[in-house]
Structure formats: C-alpha cells, structure tokens
Amino acid sequence: MVFNRNLRALIVVILLAGACLAFQRRGRLPFLDDEDEPEPYPADAGEKTEWVFARLRYNSYRQGAGMWGVRGSWSTDYPKAERHFAQGIRRLSRVHVRSVEEVVDLDTDKIFDYPWIYGVEVGHWDLSDSQAAKLREYLTRGGFLMVDDFHGSIEWEIFMRSMSRVFPDRPVVDIPNKDAIFHMLFDLDNRVQIPGIVMFYTGQTYEQDGVTEKWGGIYDEKGRIMVAMCHNMDLGDAWEHADMPQYPERYTSMAYRIGLNYIIYSMTH
Amino acid sequence: MFEALFLYPYRLFTRGEFLFASGWPAWVLLLLMLIAIAGTGYWVWRHHGGNFAGRRWIAVAALQGLVLALLLFLLWRPALRVTALKPQQNVIAVVVDDSRSMQLKHEDLPRLEAARKLLSGGLLEKLRNRFQVRVYRAGNYLERIQGLDALTGAQPATHLGLSMKQMMEESASLPIGAVVLLTDGSDNSGGLEADTLSEIRRRKIPIHSVGFGAEKLARDLEVLDLDVPQRALSDSRIGAAITLRHFGLNGQKAKLALLADEKIVASREVILGAEGVPQTETLLFNAGLAGARNVRASVVKLEGEENPSNNAQSRLINVESLKPRILYIEGEPKWDFKFIRRALEGDRNLQLTTMLRTTQNKIYRQGVEDPKELEQGFPGKEEELFKFSGLIIGGIEASYFTPQQQAMIRNFADRRGGGVLFLAGRGAFADGGWAASPVAEMIPVTLADRKGTFHRDPATAELTGAGRDSLIVRIEEDAKKNEERWRKLPYLANYQETGPAKPGATVLVDALPTSKGRHPLFVTQRYGRGRVSVFASSGTWRWQMLQDVKDLSHEVFWQQTLRWLVTETPPQVSATPSKQLLLDDGQVEFRADVRDPAYKPLAGATVEARILGPGGAAAMLPLTPDSSQTGLFTARWDAPKSGNYVVEVLARNGKEEMGRDVFTLSRQDGIAENFHAGQNRQLLEGLSRQTGGNYYTPASAQALPDDIAYSEAGITTRETKDLWNMPALLLALFGAKAAEWLLRRRWGAV
C-alpha cells in the first residue's frame, strides 16, 4: 500500500516536471533545436582571440533564482547562432574572432573580460538587484550589450522591468539612422525587420503584437550607445539558420551586417 | 715658523724667481757637487773603510758629501728676485660687498659689521701707510665710497663679475696694485665672465679675497630649485620638481606647498633627509586655463631658521591653448583602440584622429576635421602628415606603408620633431615585418628576428627604476604610492616580445608574463628632434574593465603618455629665450627656429618679436638670421625692469605667415640674493687663485698688508733677497756634521 502511494507520488512529480518543461519550451520547434542537430565543435576552438561572442546567461522571468541548471531563454539558438555568426565576422572583417562562444553571467566578474555581450529573449529575463548593479557597472566601465529576440508589448514590459533597474535614469531611445552604429562597416539606412523561424508557420515577420521593429538604444552621457536593442526581431535565428535554404538570405545578410556594425561600434566608441 | 727658518713668508717664495747672485753658471755648481760627493766617498772608503763594519762607511761618506755640496751651494749665493709695489705710488682697491646677504651673521656679528670692524680695526690703516687706498661697495654695481659709514647692506644683489668688470674699466688709467675683496661670495650671476677674468690677468692685478660668514648656516631650509616646464598644455597635469636643502634640521617635517597665481594647487608634508644633500620632491598639479601662470614653491618657516627668505622660488609657465592632433592608425579592431579613444575623450586638449582598418580595404576614420581628410588613407605627403604632432602606429604591418610613407614616419620624429608611439598587435613589431624596414632604426628596441612574438597571455606591468622616477607613468602623485598602484593594476590582456631596449633608450615599465620572463613594455627615447616610444601590449583595456568605474588609472596613463608624446613637438615657428628667469640682469637672447610646411629650415624668413612687459609696456624687436644654423634667427634684448614679459614671435615668408609662437620670461630683482646664503668659499678661493691673489679669513687677514706688497700690477720695483743666510741652511750644515759625529761614536769609529 505504502509502495503504491510512493509510486503514485513519483508519477505525479514526473508528470508535473514534464508539464513544466513543456510549458517552458512551448512554441519552440523541436526539429530546429540544437540538441536535435548538434553543432560540431570547431578544431580551432581553443584559439586566443581579441573578440569572443559572449552570451549572457540570466534568470528567466518564470524561473526561480539560481536555476541555471535548467536551460532557460538565455540559451535560445545556442550555440549554432554564434558559431555561424563568428564565421561571418571572420569572412567579412579583420576582427580576430574565436570560433566558439563564451557564456557569461552577472554573478561573477568574468563578464568584465568580455566587453561585448549578447542577450537573447530578454523578454523573459529577470535580473536581481545585484545583477542589475553589476550590469550597470559593466556598461559604465565600457561594456556593450546587444539584446535580441524579444517581441511585443508584454516582453518589452518584462525586459524593461529589469533594464530600468540597471539604468533608472537613462531612457531607451530609438537610435536614429544617422547614428554611427548604422554606418560602421555597412551603411544600414534601409534596415528591415529580421524575422525568426516562426515566420514559416505564421507567414508573418513579427510575433505577438510586435508588428514594427524597434532599433532601441541606451546612451551614456557622452552620446555613446551602451545597450542596443533589436526588439520585435530575431537576429539570432537569422544567424542560426544562415545555412538553412528555406530561411531567406536577405534577412541573414542584414542580420550579419547589423551584428558586425554593432561589434565594430562597440570596439571603436 | 716658516719665516723663522726661511727668512721670508711662504707667499714670497711662490711669487719670487730663484737665482744665484754670484753669477757663476749653475752647471759648474752641479759638476763640483758631484765631484765633491764622489771624491768624499772615495776618500772615506780608501782611508776609513776598514774602520766600519759592512757598508756603514757609505752613510758617513754621504753626510760629508752633503756638507761639501751645501757649502758649494752657499758659495754660489742663492737669492730670490721679487716684484714689489712701490710704496705710496700704487692704489689698492678695497671692495666691500654691500648686499643684503651681508646682513646675515658671521659668528656673533652681521657679516657687514665684521668686515667694517676688520677694516677700521687696523687693516685699512696698515694699507694706507703703504699705499693709496680707494674703498668701493659692490652690489648691483660698483660704487666708490668715502667712508665705511656708507655701507648699509641694502643692495638687492651681488654681481661680483660685473663689479670687477666695472673696476677694470674705471681703473684703466690708475696704478692698481691689488684688489682686496671683502664678501661672503654669495654671487648672483655666476662669478666672473671669461673676458673680465682675462683682462684682470692681463693687467696682473691680484684679487685678495676675505671671506665672511659660515660656509653653511646652522639651521636653514632652502628651496634650491623649482623645475617646471616652460610650456604646458591647458588643463594638463604637470609635475613640479622642487629641490630642498637644509642644514641642522635632520628628520624634521616641513610643509611644502605649490601655488599657481597665489592659489594652492598642491601640497605635501616632507621629512627632511640628510643635511646639505639636495632632496627633490615632485608635486603634480593641473596647469589650468591658457595664459601665463606664476608658479611658486614654498616651504613654511621652521623654528629657529636663520634665513627664511630663501624658503620660496617662483617660475613662470606659459599655458597654451593648443589642441595638438595625434594620428592613430590601427591594423584591426581591438579593445585597446576603443579604450584609448575613450581615455582621450576626457582630455580637452588633445585631438585624436584615428584610422582603423576594419576590413582589408576599408578604413574607418574618427576625429577627422572634414569628411575628405585621410579619405585616401594614410598621408602620402609630408605636409599632410606633419599637420599632426603625434603619431601612433598600432598593430599594422610595415608593408601596409609605401617606402615613401616609411621615410615620412622617420622624418616625422627626426625632422618634424613629433612623437611616435608603436603599439603591440598581431601586425606589430617583428610579426609585422618592421625589423626589416627602415623604420626599425627609430624604434627604441632591437626587434626580434622572428615571428610569433605577440602573445594573448596575461602579463603584469612593473615599473623599472627609471619608471619610478618618471612623471609619464605617475598615476599617483607620490612615488611610493604610484609604485604600489602599478603593482595592483589588473594584468594586461596580452604582451609582445619586442627585443631588448637600445642603448640610450629608457625602459619605464616591464611586462612580466604570468608564465615566466620579463620583457620591456614601455620604452622611450629621443630620435632627432622628436621622441619615439614603444608600448608592447594592446591589453590595457583590462585596467578599465576590471577596475571600479571611478578608478582612473587607464585614463590617466594614456592621457599622460600621449601628452608626453606631443607636448614638446615644435610648431613651424618655435621661439625660446636663452633664459626664462632673469635674476637681477635683463640681458637675454631670443631664438626662433623657422621651418617651412615640410619642416625644412627656412632661411629667407622675416622674423620679429612683439614684447609685452609689466604695466602693458610694448616693444618690437627684429630677429636676424644666425650664421651658425640655417633657419635660426636671433636677437639680444634687455628686459628693462622686474616683472613678467610675454613675447610673441612671428615669422613670414614673403607675405605668407609661416607661424607664430609665444613664450614668457620673468625678470626678478633682489630675489637671488636670498639663496645660497652661506659663504661661497670655493668661489672666492678660485677667484683669488686665478688672479694670483690669496684667500683670507678675517682672522688671517692681518697678514694681508705684507703679502699685498708683492704684486706685478701697478708701479713696481724688483728686489733681490739673499737666501744664503737662511737659518734653515745653517741648521742643515750643522745637522749633517752632528749626525756624522753621532754615528761615528755609536759605531766606535771616532
């Protein structure tokens, strides 16, 4: 009898855990996930380089604090997006790039060794006060944050809940076309909304109510961009699926150009 | 004692000419002496040799020979011929230092009072008994006085050289037999000029000096020197090296302050070190806004100080509102590029123009004056490159530059006088093929002849001995704190093995890789008219990213380094005064180096100086070509009064203006007298020695009237003084015979 009760409890726990995982990964297409199609580890992964794609690992809004162990939103497109993008940077510029990424978080000082970081799906992030303070210190010292793949008003709201604690006194503004960031390596006056892979199923370039793309930024007191936001867009998907015939090349090209401009901007301003 | 033995004073022997009054040839005397000694020796050996054991007979023979030789010497009548002043026919000039330093103590009395006491206590009377005496006082100039009451000790300066020169001019028709100079030797103009000294020696006038005052004061703290740059960029941090010296204040604390236009800009408490040893303290301060800035270093008077008026020194700094431009070309995007740019954004007086090679064929330019500037890439003409004052070559291969551009890089330092900084990177130094380029000659390290010298491995930076003293790498004002600060800096992200520093180069900082080894990190040297340096890392960005945002180590280091790179870069027209600080004497020479836009010397320019003096007084002065150097123009000028002067030098080539330069100078009257207030005995002894006179203390000056009589100046007579009757010679004769007799008795041969 006791055995049956324990067995029933175990089954309930397993079912609940499965439901949680399914909830967390809803809307994701299993066949597109890297785990189903793992990216080979490059032979030159150990090369010491000037620039490294540093992916920001954060607590997701629906996660409890300290649950790094569960793959959260931070790892979306990981690691294929950055490895594809790294190859593009090598091909298109003189930036000395490592072929593999580095994962950094806001709980240690390792982040300060990577003056450029990338945050994906930040419409799900949830920074603690100490993490927000560290990100502020990082950006004030000269670090650069690019955020991407968050859509619609709800995710914006969630993003801003943390971001406004990073810089309570600095507004998010639309980066004007004339800003140097759009004219570094490529002149990008005619930018387009970069859709995610979900476009295949919905037939539209936006998600949720994020119809129009937003090129947002937070500037420091000397007019330099510290945080660049690609809202209502998914450059990560465009990098990740650069080798996918179905994904339109024009979006991948634009995503590469934007990414490169952001990187070179961060290394010059 | 000397006179008792030799009849005459020692000084007579130094001045007189030795001779034999008999008139017989000296060689005959020598020959006879030899014969006498040899004959005596033979006779003693022949007749008495057997009476002495061993070779004792030699001692007896030598003493007998000596007696015979001395007798022969006396027969020849040795004598001394001296030139002496004729009594009452010569003038003795008594010159008394009447400057303020003579009011300081000599033992218990003021120095001037001691001099007056010496003169009125018999010295003057003794001189007057034998000579005509004229009394003068010396200060800014020489003035004859009728009595000692005219001495006041109020003259603001002592110009011994000028006074002696005046004396020579005024006494050209007088039979001056000697000059007696009573002074503390505290001269403000560096002693006698060569032409004055040569005139004194030509007229054979001896200067006898009597020194007053202790050679060092018992308790005194003095600001010996204040060393600040003559020019500075506005808002720049500059260093003032203040040299202190003290006597009798070992281990005491002194408050040192630096004032700019009478506002305290830096201060520190210092502990005084060893007595009499100059001690240099460095204070850093902000130069402030453009304009002439009066900087004064001052120490607070300590208890019991004898001479507090030497506790401060002032200098004038010309703070310029220039914005020197630096061109930085980098071979690939790198973090240090961004962070150096950011560091310079905090410097309002440096303009950084950058060229970044983002792709093989694309250059991203920042800080250009107009969209066309550098559009075609790195300058291809000297006129274009030489607009910049500094040049930074980042990690970019030598082959990126044409041979002509490489020559221009060299000329940038050599001829233009600019500063060139080479940075590390994958394309830098040996890895970039620079070792085989003509530019290698100017790089202050001997580049390694191999690839793979750039390492993306951590390294710490450590100040060398030279670095500890250098202001370029002074992040903290205090030298010890600065060393500690460097030790605590986060490690560099990378380093490059450059090879050893060349002879003449200065290594300021070493890189210590965490693996092993030590390599020069920051090396500087002069090259031609300019400066060249190497910074063998591109990983200082970690100093910014790994430290609190309030920490300014990275910014300060790069701002100071790049300011050092350009501060001394001369403009096309570069003007300087021969002296910036004129002490009691307004004589100064202006020099202007005039160059064309390619910085080649320009011979045919028209150059003039516009001078603005105290109270708004203005003057114009043309500068004329100097034959010693093409493109150099000079003019002499006399600053008429105490105060600050601003001089603008303008050069034209035909109607075209070549450029203009501004410098400042300051004339300070009556200040120098307060310094070096101890008796300068060395100066006085040298002066007397060079002119054939003697140095005396007040106590030994009683012998002066007798000594002074022997001089070759003025109206003289020649006297011959016999020496044969010197007691010393008679003593020698008797001594030799007595010694012989004693030896014979001892040896039993009497």
On whether any CB of chain A is under 8 Å from the CB of B474, the answer is no
Residues B305 and B388 in one domain: no
Domain span including residue B193: 87-215+678-714
Query: Which of B330, B335, B554 should one mutate to test binding to chain A, selecting the residue with the greatest count of A CBs within 10 A?
Result: B335
Contacts of B359 in chain A (CB under 8 A): 92-94, 185
Q: How confident is the model at residue B720, as a pLDDT?
A: 87
On whether any CB of chain B is under 8 Å from the CB of A141, the answer is yes
Q: Is the pLDDT of residue B265 over 70?
A: yes
Q: How confident is the model at residue A38, as a pLDDT?
A: 64
Residue contact B333–A51, C-beta within 8 A: yes
Residue contact A142–B456, C-beta within 8 A: no
**pLDDT tens figures, B33-65:** 999 999 998 988 888 877 777 788 888 889 999
Interface of A with B in 33-92 (CB under 8 A): 48-51, 92
Nearest CB partner across the interface for B342, out of A94, A113, A142: A142
Q: How confident is the model at residue B549, as a pLDDT?
A: 95
Alpha helices in chain A (DSSP H): 2-24, 80-92, 129-141, 152-166, 199-202, 235-240, 249-266
Q: Which of A49-58, B171-180, B545-554 has the lowest mean pLDDT?
A: B171-180
Q: Could you tell me if A182 and A261 are in contact, meaning their C-beta atoms sit under 8 angstroms apart? A: yes
Residue contact B358–A51, C-beta within 8 A: no
Q: Could you tell me if B714 and B177 are in contact, meaning their C-beta atoms sit under 8 angstroms apart? A: yes
Residue contact B549–A95, C-beta within 8 A: no
Residues B413 and B292 in one domain: no
Residues B71-75 have a mean pLDDT of: 93
Residues B376 and B442 in one domain: yes
Residue contact A267–B337, C-beta within 8 A: yes
CA angle B588, B594, B598 (to 5 degrees): 155
On whether any CB of chain A is under 8 Å from the CB of B333, the answer is yes
Q: How confident is the model at residue A1, as a pLDDT?
A: 46
Nearest CB partner across the interface for A264, out of B358, B457, B545: B358
Query: Which of B328, B347, B358 should one mutate to test binding to chain A, selecting the residue with the greatest count of A CBs within 10 A?
Result: B358
Cis status, amide bond into B625, omega within 30 of 0 = no
Residues B365-378 have a mean pLDDT of: 96
Nearest CB partner across the interface for A268, out of B338, B545, B547: B338
Query: Which CATH number goes with the domain that contains B645?
Result: 2.60.40.1930
Q: Could you tell me if B362 and B355 are in contact, meaning their C-beta atoms sit under 8 angstroms apart? A: no
Q: How confident is the model at residue B175, as a pLDDT?
A: 87
Nearest CB partner across the interface for B360, out of A48, A94, A184: A94
Letter string b/e over residues B287-312, b meaning 16 or more CB atoms within 10 A of that residue's CB: bbebebbebbbbbeebeebbbebbbb
Query: Which of A104, A111, A141, A264 should one mutate to test binding to chain B, selecting the residue with the greatest count of B CBs within 10 A?
Result: A141
Average pLDDT, chain B: 92
Contacts of A50 in chain B (CB under 8 A): 332-335, 456
Residue contact A94–B331, C-beta within 8 A: yes
Q: Is the pLDDT of residue A68 over 60?
A: no
Query: What is the Cα–Cα distance from B32 to B72, expressed in whole angstroms?
Result: 8
Q: Which of A140-154, A219-233, B90-104, B410-424 has the lowest mean pLDDT?
A: B90-104
Å between B555 CA and nearest CA of chain A = 12
Residue contact A142–B339, C-beta within 8 A: yes
User: In B331-386, which ranges are E strands?
Assistant: 351-359, 362-366
Å between B504 CA and nearest CA of chain A = 34
Å between B433 CA and nearest CA of chain A = 18
- Is B555 exposed, middle or buried (CB count within 10 Å of its CB: 0-12, 13-18, 19+)? buried
Amino acid in position B549: V
Q: Which helix (H) or strand (E) holds B644?
A: strand B643-653
**Can you tell me the ipTM of this complex?**
0.87
Contacts of B333 in chain A (CB under 8 A): 50-51, 93-95, 263-264, 267-268
On whether any CB of chain B is under 8 Å from the CB of A93, the answer is yes
Please indicate, yes or no, whether the overall pTM of this predicted structure exceeds 0.95.
Answer: no
Count of A-B CB contacts under 8 Å: 79
Residue partners of B433: CB distance under 8 A and separation at least 6: B397, B398, B399
Residues B40 and B161 in one domain: no
Query: Which of B328, B332, B547 should one mutate to test binding to chain A, selecting the residue with the greatest count of A CBs within 10 A?
Result: B332
User: Shortest CA distance to B100 belongs to which of B154, B163, B181?
Assistant: B154
Contacts of B550 in chain A (CB under 8 A): none
On whether any CB of chain A is under 8 Å from the CB of B335, the answer is yes
- Classify residue A147: in a domain, yes or no: yes
Nearest CB partner across the interface for B549, out of A137, A264, A268: A137
**pLDDT tens figures, B269-288:** 999 999 999 999 989 999 99
On whether any CB of chain A is under 8 Å from the CB of B203, the answer is no
Å between B436 CA and nearest CA of chain A = 24
Q: How confident is the model at residue A11, as a pLDDT?
A: 63
Residues B548 and B642 in one domain: no
Contacts of A262 in chain B (CB under 8 A): none
Residue partners of B621: CB distance under 8 A and separation at least 6: B590, B608, B609, B611, B635, B637
Which residues on adjacent β-strands are paired with residue B284? B239
Query: Which CATH number goes with the domain that contains A99?
Result: 3.40.50.12140
Residues B464 and B363 in one domain: yes
Choose the most confident range, by mean pLDDT, from A110-114, B468-472, B576-580, B653-657. Answer: A110-114
Å between A92 CA and nearest CA of chain B = 7
Nearest CB partner across the interface for A94, out of B332, B345, B548: B332
Residue contact A269–B338, C-beta within 8 A: yes
Q: How confident is the model at residue A77, as a pLDDT?
A: 95
- Backbone phi and psi for residue B122, each to the nearest 5 degrees, phi listed first: 135, -25
Q: Is the pLDDT of residue B115 over 80?
A: yes
Query: What is the Cα–Cα distance from A173 to A176, expressed in whole angstroms?
Result: 9
Nearest CB partner across the interface for B541, out of A115, A184, A268: A115
Residues B207 and B253 in one domain: no
Average pLDDT, chain A: 88
Q: Is the pLDDT of residue B454 over 90?
A: yes
* Percent with pLDDT over 70 in chain B: 99
Query: Which CATH number goes with the domain that contains B462?
Result: 3.40.50.880
Contacts of A140 in chain B (CB under 8 A): 549
Q: Is the pLDDT of residue A236 over 50?
A: yes
A94, closest residue in chain B (CA to CA): B359
Contacts of A185 in chain B (CB under 8 A): 358-359, 362, 364
Query: Which CATH number goes with the domain that contains B200?
Result: 3.40.50.410
Query: Which CATH number goes with the domain that contains B309?
Result: 2.60.40.150
On whether any CB of chain B is under 8 Å from the CB of A187, the answer is no
- Classify residue A197: in a domain, yes or no: yes
Domain span including residue A198: 49-266
Looking up tokens 């004729």 gives B86
Q: Is the pLDDT of residue B432 over 90?
A: yes
Residue contact A142–B333, C-beta within 8 A: no
Residues B475 and B577 in one domain: no
Looking up tokens 């003038």 gives B91
Query: What is the Cα–Cα distance from B312 to B256, expressed in whole angstroms?
Result: 10
The conformation of residue B445, written as its DSSP 8-state character, comes to: B
On whether any CB of chain A is under 8 Å from the CB of B554, the answer is no
Q: Is the pLDDT of residue A65 over 50?
A: no
Residue contact B359–A94, C-beta within 8 A: yes
pLDDT band at A8 (very low <50, low <70, confident <90, very high): low
- Classify residue A241: in a domain, yes or no: yes
Structure tokens at B1: 């004692």
Residue partners of A74: CB distance under 8 A and separation at least 6: A55, A56, A57, A58, A60, A119, A120, A121, A125
Residue contact A109–B546, C-beta within 8 A: yes
On whether any CB of chain A is under 8 Å from the CB of B100, the answer is no
Query: Based on the structure, what is the number of domains in chain A?
Result: 1
**pLDDT tens figures, B692-734:** 889 999 999 988 888 888 877 778 788 888 998 999 999 999 9
> What value does the CA radius of gyration of chain B take, rounded to a whole number of Å?
36
Q: Which of B4-13, B61-70, B662-671 has the lowest mean pLDDT?
A: B4-13
Query: Based on the structure, what is the number of domains in chain B?
Result: 5
Residue contact B362–A185, C-beta within 8 A: yes
Interface of B with A in 339-358 (CB under 8 A): 339, 341-342, 345, 354, 356-358
Amino acid in position B397: E
- Classify residue A7: in a domain, yes or no: no
- Classify residue A21: in a domain, yes or no: no
Residues B418 and B524 in one domain: yes
Residue contact A140–B541, C-beta within 8 A: no
- Is B548 exposed, middle or buried (CB count within 10 Å of its CB: 0-12, 13-18, 19+)? exposed
Residues B226 and B266 in one domain: yes
Q: Which of residues B437 and B164 earns the better pLDDT score? A: B437
User: Shortest CA distance to A44 belongs to which of A97, A121, A114, A104?
Assistant: A97
Query: What is the Cα–Cα distance from B729 to B711, expressed in whole angstroms?
Result: 27
Choose the most confident range, by mean pLDDT, from A17-31, A191-205, B44-58. Answer: A191-205
Residue partners of A28: CB distance under 8 A and separation at least 6: none
Query: What is the Cα–Cα distance from B524 to A171, expressed in whole angstroms?
Result: 45
The conformation of residue A51, written as its DSSP 8-state character, comes to: B
Contacts of A184 in chain B (CB under 8 A): 358, 364
Terminal alpha carbon distance of chain B: 35
On whether any CB of chain A is under 8 Å from the CB of B332, the answer is yes
Residues B398 and B345 in one domain: yes
Q: Is the pLDDT of residue A63 over 70?
A: no
| The residue count for chain B | 750
Q: Which of residues B512 and B130 earns the better pLDDT score? A: B512
Q: Could you tell me if B634 and B605 are in contact, meaning their C-beta atoms sit under 8 angstroms apart? A: no
Q: Report the relative pairing of strands A173-174 and A144-150 from DSSP bridges.
A: unpaired
CA angle A17, A21, A26 (to 5 degrees): 145
Q: Is the pLDDT of residue A33 over 70?
A: no
Q: Is the pLDDT of residue B93 over 70?
A: yes
Choose the most confident range, by mean pLDDT, from A178-192, B192-206, B226-240, B666-680. Answer: A178-192
pLDDT band at B189 (very low <50, low <70, confident <90, very high): low
Residues B267 and B410 in one domain: no
Nearest CB partner across the interface for B364, out of A48, A51, A184: A184
Residues B382-388 have a mean pLDDT of: 97
Q: Which helix (H) or strand (E) holds B488?
A: helix B479-488
